[in-house]
Amino acid sequence: MSFINYSSREINCKIVYYGPGLCGKTTNLQFIYTKTNPDLKGKMISLATETERTLFFDFLPLALGQIRGFKTRFHLYTVPGQVFYDASRKLILKGVDGVVFVADSQIERMEANLESIDNLKVNLREQGYELDKIPFVIQYNKRDLPNAAPLDELRRQLNPSGVQDFEASATTGEGVFETLKAVAKTVLSDLKRLSR
């Protein structure tokens, strides 16, 4: 849940990057981290195993600027993608304001994508959220790989409700900021809607 602090005139929102193991959630955050002005970002934290698989979460605080005199900050989190870390994923979804689902475009990962998006729905429901009622965007990552599934096929399988979606290659950064901007805008629009 967003936190509005009148004393420091700040608004903080939490965005979670979700998706199957090795789909590029951490790579998204790393790219954002390396390309953001040092004044606008905090330290990036990665709680990872020795083989650099996310163990608990990655965390990156970002300042976007001011709206009506309020500093707008986004806290970006990733979840561990591997199936057996489900307990940790549930914890990270607590208090979420917006979700990015990072899909792995490789054709052989379609099953893992579907399993992960179902898991997202189940875990959100446990927290009292419905995926189609919260700010949500999809990123089809690894579009640069030769074994990437056609975009139409990914859309048909993963995005039947037609939320905003983006093609990306997180290692080169293509589509990374477009995805972030889209989810941040949706979160802010949602806050506006809820406060009316």
C-alpha–C-alpha distance, residues 144 and 132, integer Å:
29
Q: What is the smallest separation between the CB atom of 40 and other proteins, expressed in angstroms?
A: 10
Contacting range for other proteins; rule: CB under 8 A; set: 63-71, 111-119, 156-164, 168-176: 63-71
Q: What is the smallest separation between the CB atom of 127 and other proteins, expressed in angstroms?
A: 7
> Considering only residues 160-189, where is the footprint of other proteins by CB under 8 A?
181, 184-185, 188-189
Contacting range for other proteins; rule: CB under 8 A; set: 2-10, 21-29, 108-116, 160-168: 2-10
Q: Residue 160 has which token pair?
A: 């039947």
User: What is the CB-side half-sphere exposure of residue 153 using CA atoms within 13 A?
Assistant: 13
> Considering only residues 10-49, where is the footprint of other proteins by CB under 8 A?
11-12, 14, 42-43, 45, 47
Question: Taking a C-beta distance cutoff of 8 angstroms, is the pair 83, 113 a contact?
Answer: no
Phi/psi at 70 (nearest 5 deg)? -105, 130
Mapped onto helix, strand or coil, the DSSP state of residue 83 is helix
C-alpha–C-alpha distance, residues 97 and 136, integer Å:
9
Q: Residue 6 has which token pair?
A: 């009148």
Binding positions for other proteins, rule: CB under 8 A = 1-8, 11-12, 14, 42-43, 45, 47, 56-57, 59, 61, 64-65, 67-70, 72, 75, 87-88, 90-92, 94-95, 127-129, 181, 184-185, 188-189, 191-192, 194-196
